[in-house]
Amino acid sequence: MKRLSWDQYFMAQSHLLANRSTCPRLAVGATIVRDKRIIAGGYNGSISGGVHCVDEGCYIIDGHCVRTIHAEMNAIIQCAKFGVATQGAEIYVTHFPCLQCCKAIIQSGIKTVYYATDYRNHPYAVELFDSANVKTKKVPFNNFFEHDNQAEKLKLFANIMKKLESAGVEEDEIKELYRQAQNIFSHDV
């Protein structure tokens, strides 16, 4: 069994949190860590008890959904709500923080931002992180749920389909098998 590094462990937690997102535009998760311990987590979504974008649609003003709270903000607010200090902590985020989250991260005393994916990295956010001595580090997420033999599965499936076609299986049946396989293989990654 391969053991996850700390960075992959905390990034996996952020990706797991992103699955709670109620934003249909982009699912983001954030995990705040201090001394190799998770102290808070957040995902982007509506306020507690509020209407969710997945149910009612996004409330867009100037190209941004104003209904949602970003994952980083939710995690920082969770710390404030429960009296957990963020000074000197680290945050693991699925996507590079927006400008507003960048400022909140700096103000909260978080010293390192680990992110898996570049996403509209605002030059001023990068500048602010630099000037506040907040380190940023890209940590691509290696999804340990993915199967290492995905290519082998696809090759086997293609060979089986060729044999079925040459055996005279109806075209509609072949198309349905392709559709089912596409569902299975797209959920594997």
pLDDT number for residue 73: 98
- By DSSP bridging, strand 112-117 and strand 135-138 are parallel
72 is annotated as an active-site residue: yes
The mean predicted confidence, pLDDT, of the chain is: 90
d(C-alpha 35, C-alpha 38), whole Å:
8
Q: Is 55 left (phi over 0), alpha (psi -120 to 50) or beta?
A: alpha
pLDDT 10s digits, 24-67: 999 999 999 999 999 999 999 999 999 999 999 999 999 889 99
Q: Which of 72, 90, 152, 173 is catalytic?
A: 72
Helix (H, G, I), strand (E, B) or coil at 42: strand
21 pLDDT band, cuts 50/70/90, is very high
At 121, which amino acid appears? N
pLDDT number for residue 153: 73
The mean-pLDDT minimum among 53-62, 145-154, 166-175 falls in: 145-154
Number of neighbouring beta carbons within 10 Å of residue 60: 12
pTM over 0.85: no
Does pLDDT of 184 surpass 50? yes
